[in-house]
A = this chain, B = another copy of it.
């Protein structure tokens, strides 16, 4: 029924179909309805095909998210911190509102249930997002916008932490005014001067 050795184009098509199926099913049915079986059925591939490429369901959803997130968030690094961070947070909020919030919630939940996936989620997602935001802060240090003594990793923790917490608990909206307020508070914090800790000359 299936011809052998059709090669790369066919496997590319299957990969695409699997990632689209995962994305669509997550949005149609939420995380609880999402299974490898349902994805295989929707993408018209066998389960072994899926397991050849991804170790778990969560890894498929992560790749589907990365395709979307990479293409949607871009900031201009030449503007002052206020504008760059504002753009970054507004775009993040828009991507979350447009559907990525569902992926993120699913992935963070899976990460609590599978230590191996938690590690991959850190490596392939959170570490990369942290690096982008850290680069924005580092540029602000170079431009003299914030103090060189500022702990940039803690600033990154604070910004992403505040977003993730709202997304996961759902106690308040993820919208533009939240993006703007978080930008404003982060800028205010970044301009304060940390206590001197390594003052020995």
Contacts and interface: CB of A to CB of B under 8 A. Distances in A.
Interface of A: 31-32, 105-106, 108-114, 118, 121-122, 126-127, 130, 151, 153-154, 157-158, 160-166, 168-172, 181-182, 184-185, 188-189, 191-192, 194-195
A149 to B, nearest CB: 12
A41 to B, nearest CB: 21
Nearest to A104: B112
A160 B168 CA distance: 12
Nearest to A193: B188
Given A31-B112, A194-B188, A182 B154 contact: yes
This chain: copies in complex = 2
Contact of A184 (B105, B112, B122, B195): B195
Chain A contact surface mostly: helix
Contacts of A163: 161
